[in-house]
Chains A and B, each alone.
Chain A
Amino acid sequence: MLIANNLTKKYGDKIALNNLNLNIKTGEIFALLGQNGAGKTTTINCFLGFIKPTSGEATIHGVSVTNHSAETKQYIAYIPETVMLYPNLTGVENLAFFSSLANFNYSKADLSSFLTKAGLQESAHHQAIKSYSKGMRQKVGIAIAVAKKAIALLLDEPTSGLDPKASNEFSEILRELSTNGTSILMATHDIFRAKEVAHRIGIMKEGNLVSEIEAKDISANELEQLYLQTV
């Protein structure tokens, strides 16, 4: 589903991403761990088409991001570290706006059901986003991805700043999406959350993917040890 083939990105002499090879299958959650500047966000930006790789290729659903960026957009959804959205609009209005841009015209009831599925309590659906907590805004972000019927989800530090309960709810939703066939690439600093939610975990250092582990084969403590040794 999401494939990186010798993906490289250089800024002058600085290598941000070095010959990255990845293959994330349908319904798989892949977590990228690494320090700041390790190349996690660059990888996500290459898949989003916001960065043109120096060499190599990123493909989504078999379509090259570099050559057919607009086409690949229909398959993906993106949730940044902080989902700000439009503070004066309500959750439903924000969702309606983003869905209509992706050519989906839902009824108000449908929009509400997406927000409910994403874990947002009904009383908040018609409140302005400016009154939402970060966790609530992340849930709207999830609802946007679900409403778009994206087959691949790209997440950049999605649980950063969330309280444990909100973070746990978020992981639950990701697992549910994965069960429904959505491929997920998640960049995170949260080792525990990565172990809990991902099927596979990659550790990046200075633009290189230095370790790739099956989450089920390693405990949280072992993962932490490996991470500390690697970075």
Chain B
Amino acid sequence: MKKRTIQIVAKQVWVHTLKNKSSFWLISFFNILLCFALISGYYHHYNQQKTVKAYSHDVRERWESNPDKHPHRMAHYGYVVFREKFPLSFFDFGMDSYVGNVVFLEAHKQNTINFSEASLSNGLLRFGEISVGMILQLLLPLLVFFWGFGLITEERQHGTLRILLTQGVSWQELIIGKAVGLFYLSLTTYLPCFLLAFVFLLLDASTYHNVEIIGRFLILIISYLSYFFILSLLAVYVSSRSKSSKTSLVSLIGFWLFFALILPKVSQVAGKNLFISPSKIEFDTAIEQELIEQGDSHNPNDPHFKKIKDSLLKAYHVDSTHKLPFNYGGYIMREGERLSAETYQKHQIKLIQVYQKQQNLIRLTAPLNPLIAIKNISMALSGTDYIAYNNFQNQVETYRYHLAQTMNELQMKYISNRVKNSADKNARIEKKHWEEFPDFKAEFLPLRAVFMNEIISFLSLISWIIGFWLLIKYSGKHLKAF
């Protein structure tokens, strides 16, 4: 294959298409649409971050301004945690609008993360949102197919193809050249948006020096470029195999329907049916049932906790819990918290495993569907996929557990066994302890972890390019000039 010939063919596609007035309008339309989606996404992201920061600050202030009181009362006073959006989430909303943003943390109880965008909207969200990711994944491929469906068939129908091939151009050079030209054309629609997104990232002081986020953005761009190169190769290859432009267009629309609707829907339904996940009620009931079987830490006659009490009395050679060197109530609650958290974790891990199996089934269709591959990569790098949400959920539970156990330990250490109840004056500890308890700070997944989670999707994109390369290289002999 001659690089020069590929460049000449690519340039011809570029010049010929751009000389068409409709191309100018289409490029303008998609640029405006993408920039609108980007700016509105960034504005929404910026406002939400501002709100989250303000309320998180408020929650912290209220926590610290609590007066001296019993630590267990503080454990039930609780903490409110807000989900911070990843700096790149304005690019691809992913699951962000459908998962909760706020969670109330308290002892003994794992509350769900509430107030998702979807739960607060008026139902319009079901029609989908306009995000840069959605436009790039779903709408722009239609433009690429529209530009590409006739690139070879029209040459064939007009007889130009035979002149081209007689000039010494090989089939491989022709297809690759046309695909490269089509890819260059697609760049005109989204390159300005990528540059603007990069400016937005640099404007944000928190991301300006963050190599990790800049790295994620660059990988995101490379992934999208690969995706559009695959689409360009597909469009030109289908055109080369089709007898007429009409057949080529119908085939490409068929591919789009298969990629965008049929395969994702089928894999989603198959995943749900093959790996059945419990409903929220079933999940909560199963945990409650197991906790009842384990015992009630608030009931002094509960067999499990009575056994602990007896062993403690024996170990410390005392005949009453009042004589223990630590607060017995705190100890029991610490044990109860440990048991309930372990039970919750056990069920949660099982649930996540089911979700992961469902996700993996969809992920496994990526080698058949470049749209699934780019969708997964885009959401993962934008920090809006389920794994990112699950990472937040895990950190929230860890923090809640730490909060509850810290309060239990403070009770064990500072509260005498002689106090009758938490309202007792002697049952209070100093408020400095609330200040000493650290604030919640979510950590986003590192790039390496994101990359490994989506390794199938990355490999799928690479396989599509290599697959097309081989297909074009070896199928040239079977293509017809007329």
Residues of A at the B interface (CB closer than 8 Å) are: 45, 48, 50, 70, 73-74, 76-86, 88-89, 93, 97-98, 100-103, 128, 141, 144, 148, 154
Query: What are 7 residue pairs bridging A and B, where the CB atoms are less than 8 Å apart in the complex?
Result: A45-B482, A48-B165, A50-B481, A73-B165, A79-B163, A88-B20, A144-B163
Using CB atoms and an 8 Å cutoff, list the residues of chain B in contact with chain A. Answer: 5, 8-9, 12, 15-16, 19-20, 158-160, 162-170, 480-482
Instruction: Find the A residue at minimum CB distance from B159.
Output: A80
| Complex CA–CA separation, A154 to B159 (angstroms) | 14
Closest CB-CB distance, B479 to chain A, in whole Å?
A: 10
> Which residues in B have their C-beta under 8 angstroms from that of A84?
158-160
Which of the residues B159, B165, B167, B482 comes within 8 Å of A82, measured between beta carbons? B159
Contacts of A76 in B (CB 8 A): 166
CA distance A93 to B19 in the complex (A): 12
> Contact partner of A89 among B19, B481, B482, CB < 8 A?
B19
**How many residue pairs at the A-B interface have CB separations less than 8 Å?**
71
- Contact status A78-B16, CB under 8 Å: no
- Distance of A171 from chain B, by nearest CB (Å): 21
Residues of B within 8 A of A81 (CB): 159
Cα distance A78–B481 in the bound complex, in angstroms? 13
Residues of B within 8 A of A73 (CB): 165-168
Pair B166/A78 contact, Cβ less than 8 Å: yes
Q: Which residues of A contact B481 (CB under 8 A)?
A: 48, 50
Q: Are B19 and A80 in contact (CB under 8 A)?
A: no
Q: Distance (Å) between the CB of B25 and the closest chain A CB? A: 15
Cβ–Cβ < 8 Å partners of A93 in chain B: 15
Question: Are the C-beta atoms of A89 and B16 separated by less than 8 Å?
Answer: yes
- Indicate if the CB atoms of B168 and A102 lie closer than 8 Å: yes
Contacts of A100 in B (CB 8 A): 8
Q: Is A70 touching B16 in the complex (CB atoms < 8 A)? A: no
Per the bound structure, the CA–CA distance linking A73 and B167 in Å amounts to 6
Bound Cα distance from A141 to B164, whole angstroms: 11
Query: Would you call A101 and B19 a contact (CB within 8 A)?
Result: no
Residues in A with CB closer than 8 Å to B160 are: 83-86
Q: Once bound together, how far apart are the Cα atoms of A101 and B481, in whole Å?
A: 17
Cβ-defined partner of A101 (8 Å) among B15, B158, B169, B480: B169
Beta-carbon contact of B163 and A78 below 8 Å: yes
Q: A77-B166, A79-B163 are in contact. List 5 more A-B contacts (CB 8 A).
A: A48-B162, A50-B480, A86-B16, A103-B168, A128-B19
CA gap between A141 and B9 in the complex, in Å: 18
List residues of chain B with CB within 8 A of the CB of A80: 159, 162-163
A23-B323 Cα distance, complex, nearest whole Å: 120
List the B side residues contacting A88 at CB < 8 Å. 16, 19-20
Structural contact, B12 and A86, CB atoms closer than 8 A: yes
Assuming the contacts A88-B20, A101-B5, asked whether A50 and B168 have C-beta atoms less than 8 A apart, the reply is no
B15 CB contacts on chain A under 8 angstroms: 89, 93
Contact (Cβ within 8 A) A74 B168 = yes
| CA distance in complex: A224, B158 (Å) | 31
- Report A108 CB to chain B, min CB distance, Å: 15
Contact A48 B159 (CB under 8 A): no
What residues on A are CB-neighbors of B9 within 8 Å?
101
Q: Is the CB of B167 within 8 A of A50?
A: no
Which residue on B lies nearest to A98, using beta carbons? Answer: B167
The answer to whether A70 and B170 touch (CB under 8 A), given A50-B481, A97-B12, is yes
Interchain CA distance A144-B480 in the complex, whole Å: 22
